[in-house]
């Protein structure tokens, strides 16, 4: 197996200077490496573009067809869907193992975490051509954009780091050491607080975007994969895949407020694995994807009670609303399709075939 040593700006693990530590040293000096061709893995959260901006834009725009982008982890492609026809209109070959995706402010560019290419690719959404790439560090998985669209924050799963990228200059401008296997990324609506979840450390790391320092570490249940702020910034929700719960965090007090758990009749607790989370704009309702339970939970975001479970495709990972909130789209990793939920009636109205292992989903603002 070819193992390539890459530039090592910041080793992820604490440096060990102990003597006579013949095992510890090799481990702790582990540099940022990347296997020549690591195989795909399952699951994870998706990056969201400037959903807030997107939603604002729709207030003045008339209701019409939106473009949806779906990353296909094993298909090495992006499928483009049209929400009027509810069908795929294009498939674009991109880098290897695309997972987290996000749109820029005006929807002209799609940023794609191509994990096996160790880069974030930039896709021009008009021409559907890859126009370039951003340096992301090894194995980028999920990304979040600053509200002004200038900085991308990306989790590097193998390195226990969050990397900061200047979008205009296309340069790395720093990194922040976090826990083991960082994944979920979210940024507060005011852009001041970044949150990263680490899957093996089981923490949500709250990071001040000004000082680039961790200001709080909040323990949550096993394997936290995704984080999402309410649109007014009052709450931060973190899903724990293996713990089977969603943690609700008060971002101002920086503390855990409560946990939501799920109970589906005739389904084992172990099969209920929350991942993707989406809030309606008014903050009244939340939708949580439950992975291999093949369901999306509909939650009253005020009382935190589960109202309903909607049956969707197999191993549902990530979710995205259309800007008019008519539809909620779900990426279903095992059944290779996208389920379309009609939000008003809470019914699944269609499933659209996409590429292999659909992972992330975002909807363009217009």
Partner 1 sequence: MRSLVAAFCLVLFAAPVAAETVNVKVGVLRETHARETLSILDIPAADDTLAGALMGAADNNTTGKFTNQTFEAIDARLEDGDDVVAALDALLDKGALFIIADLSAERLLAASERAKPKGAVLFNVSATDDRLRENDCRANVIHVAPTRSMLADGLAQYLIWKQWRRWLLIKGSHPDDELLAKAFRNSAKKFGAKVVEERVYEDTGGGRRSDSGSVQTQRQIPVLTQNAPAYDVLVAADENEVFGGYLPFRTWDPRPVAGSGGLMPTSWDASHEQWGALQLQNRFTQTFRRLMNARDNAAWLAMRMIGEAATRTGSNDPEKLRPYLLGNDFSIAAFKGVRLTLRPWNQQLRQPILLSDGRMIVSVSPQEGFLHQTSELDTLGADQPESKCKLK
Q: Which residues bind partner 1 (CB under 8 A)?
A: 1, 3, 12-18, 20-24, 26-28, 30, 33, 35, 38-43, 157-158, 160, 177, 179-181, 198-203, 205, 214, 217, 219, 221-223, 241-244, 268-271, 292
Q: Which of 342, 337, 340 is nearest to 350 (CA)?
A: 340
For the bound state, the minimum distance from the C-beta of residue 30 to partner 1, rounded and expressed in Å, comes to 6
d(CA 78, CA 113): 11
Classify residue 78 as left (phi > 0), alpha (psi -120 to 50) or beta.
Answer: beta
d(CA 113, CA 162): 13
For the bound state, the minimum distance from the C-beta of residue 265 to partner 1, rounded and expressed in Å, comes to 14
Closest CB to partner 1 among residues 4, 282: 4
Closest CB to partner 1 among residues 95, 182: 182
For the bound state, the minimum distance from the C-beta of residue 222 to partner 1, rounded and expressed in Å, comes to 4
For the bound state, the minimum distance from the C-beta of residue 200 to partner 1, rounded and expressed in Å, comes to 6
For the bound state, the minimum distance from the C-beta of residue 44 to partner 1, rounded and expressed in Å, comes to 9
339: Cα separation from own chain's centroid: 18
Closest CB to partner 1 among residues 46, 58: 46
H/E stretch holding 298 reads strand 295-300
Decide the pairing of beta strands 171-177 and 358-363: unpaired
Structure tokens at 46: 């998706």
Closest CB to partner 1 among residues 181, 228: 181
Within 10 angstroms of residue 131's Cβ, the number of other Cβ atoms is 10
CB 334 within 8 A of CB 354: no
Closest CB to partner 1 among residues 172, 271: 271
Closest CB to partner 1 among residues 17, 126: 17
In which order are the strands placed within the sheet that holds 140-145?
140-145, 151-156, 161-166, 171-177
CB 166 within 8 A of CB 150: yes
For the bound state, the minimum distance from the C-beta of residue 162 to partner 1, rounded and expressed in Å, comes to 13
Closest CB to partner 1 among residues 21, 258: 21
Q: How far, in Å, are 30, 224, 242, 313 from residue 200 at the CA level?
A: 18, 8, 11, 27
For the bound state, the minimum distance from the C-beta of residue 38 to partner 1, rounded and expressed in Å, comes to 5
């Amino acid at each position: 197996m070819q193992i390539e040593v890459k530039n090592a700006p910041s080793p992820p693990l604490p440096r060990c200077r102990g003597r006579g530590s013949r095992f510890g040293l090799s481990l702790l000096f582990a540099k940022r490496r990347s296997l020549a061709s690591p195989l795909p893995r399952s699951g994870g959260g998706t990056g969201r573009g400037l959903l807030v901006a997107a939603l604002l834009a729709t207030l003045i725009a008339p209701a019409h067809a939106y473009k949806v982008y779906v990353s296909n982890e094993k298909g090495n492609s992006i499928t483009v869907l049209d929400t009027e026809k509810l069908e795929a209109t294009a498939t674009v070959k991109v880098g290897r193992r695309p997972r987290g995706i996000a749109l820029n402010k005006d929807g002209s560019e799609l940023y794609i975490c191509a994990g096996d290419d160790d880069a974030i690719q930039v896709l021009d959404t008009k021409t559907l051509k890859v126009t370039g790439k951003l340096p992301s560090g090894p194995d980028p998985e999920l990304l979040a954009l600053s509200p002004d669209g200038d900085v991308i924050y990306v989790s590097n799963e193998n390195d226990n780091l969050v990397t900061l990228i200047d979008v205009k200059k296309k340069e790395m401008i720093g990194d922040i050491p976090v826990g083991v296997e960082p994944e979920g990324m979210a940024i507060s609506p005011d852009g001041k607080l970044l949150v990263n979840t680490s899957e093996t450390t089981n923490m949500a790391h709250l990071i001040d975007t000004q000082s680039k320092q961790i200001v709080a570490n909040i323990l949550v249940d096993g394997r936290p994969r995704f984080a999402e702020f309410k649109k007014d910034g009052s709450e931060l929700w973190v899903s724990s895949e293996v713990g089977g719960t969603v943690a609700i965090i008060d971002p101002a007090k920086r503390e855990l407020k409560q946990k939501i758990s799920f109970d589906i009749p005739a389904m084992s607790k172990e099969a209920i694995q929350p991942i993707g989370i989406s809030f309606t704009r008014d903050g009244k309702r939340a939708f949580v994807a439950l992975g291999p339970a093949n369901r999306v939970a509909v939650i009253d975001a005020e009382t935190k009670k589960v109202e309903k479970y909607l049956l969707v495709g197999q191993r549902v990972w990530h979710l995205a609303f259309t800007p008019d909130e008519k539809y909620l789209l779900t990426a279903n990793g095992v059944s290779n399709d996208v389920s379309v939920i009609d939000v008003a009636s809470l019914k699944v109205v269609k499933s659209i075939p996409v590429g292999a292992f659909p992972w992330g989903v975002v909807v363009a603002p217009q």
